[in-house]
Amino acid sequence: MVSEPAGGAQGAAHGGVPDPVTMERLRRRVNGWYAQAGRALPWREQDCSPWGVLLSEVMAQQTPLSRVEPVWRDWMEHWPTPSSLAAAAPGEAVRAWGRLGYPRRALRLHEAATVMVERHRGEVPNTPAELLALPGVGAYTAAAVASFAFRIPEVVVDTNVRRVLARTVEGKALPHVTLTRAESDLALRAMPAQRHTAPSARAEANVWNVAVMELGALVCVARGPRCADCPVADLCAWNTAGRPAYDGPPRRGQAWHGTDRQVRGEILRRLREQHRPVHRSHLDGAGPDPVQVLRCLDSLVADGLVEPLSHNRFRLPA
């Protein structure tokens, strides 16, 4: 048992470097909290396949999990393996994506499934490098799938992780607007030092990856953090400093109404509802500005999300 000296976390970081003893206390508390309070999600079940984990990570990018779960279940019912998705038309993936947003992710998943069939015998590859080589899989997703599906203790850094570490270790209200090298280094130092050599540290690191994300999603939220419910409130440098206000560059929320994203989404909605090609006139009312609608339709064609046909007709890609 690691002794816990008094005094909170004011001395937890020196130039952004967490003190090992403090980090051990943070990990133990957060992991214990997760064991009691973590959400029961299907992709966290022990019998969930690596494919199910990969789907969940791609779907959850910039999307609330409450919206992800029903779509995830539908995909797993229709396409329980990479091979089954690769055998379907790309347009069916876009149709089943529904209103999750950023529908190019559906196409990238279809492309990734095709690559898995061609290069990995229809299986999700089990190394970070091979995962990163899949279409649409970036550094975060590759690390997350390696950790959650294959128990490889990669460093997993998302917005929630960055916010928890910024507050608990650095004493900041919010992290930088975009991921910095310093934040990546901080997340690395927050992991158990022996995570690649000691089985217990490996297990601790993989639990920490999901537990710290869950803490950021449920308790250490961006607005209105629930510090009274936080398992590490007394260790948090930001909380013990009186929760000083954010003093960084302005943080602007993403607009939606009237944007190209909204119009693109409406065009795709209209195409999803039709199981046959539609004339362009069927899409004209997708936005208030006809020029914007045409521009968005052109961009969807360029992205491969819409397939143009003869006689001014359009459909989801076959």
pLDDT band at 19 (very low <50, low <70, confident <90, very high): confident
pTM: 0.84
User: CA 125 to CA 123: how far, in whole Å?
Assistant: 6
User: CA 305 to CA 299: how far, in whole Å?
Assistant: 9
Percent of the chain residues past pLDDT 70, beyond the cut: 93
Percent of the chain residues past pLDDT 90, beyond the cut: 78
User: CA 207 to CA 38: how far, in whole Å?
Assistant: 11
pLDDT band at 18 (very low <50, low <70, confident <90, very high): low
CA dihedral 141, 116, 73, 77 (to 10 degrees): 180
pLDDT in tens, 283-313: 998 999 989 999 989 989 998 999 999 999 9
Mean pLDDT of the chain: 91
Q: Considering only CA atoms, which of 290, 256, 274, 116 is closest in space to residue 306?
A: 274
pLDDT in tens, 180-230: 999 999 999 999 999 999 999 999 999 999 999 999 999 999 999 999 999
pLDDT band at 4 (very low <50, low <70, confident <90, very high): very low
Catalytic (active-site) positions:
57
pLDDT in tens, 51-65: 999 999 999 998 889
pLDDT in tens, 22-34: 899 999 999 999 9
> What are all long-range contacts of 164-168, with beta carbons under 8 Å and residues at least 24 apart?
164/212, 164/215, 164/216, 164/220, 165/190, 165/212, 166/238, 167/220, 167/225, 167/236, 167/237, 167/238, 167/239, 168/9, 168/12, 168/26, 168/220, 168/232, 168/235, 168/236, 168/237, 168/238
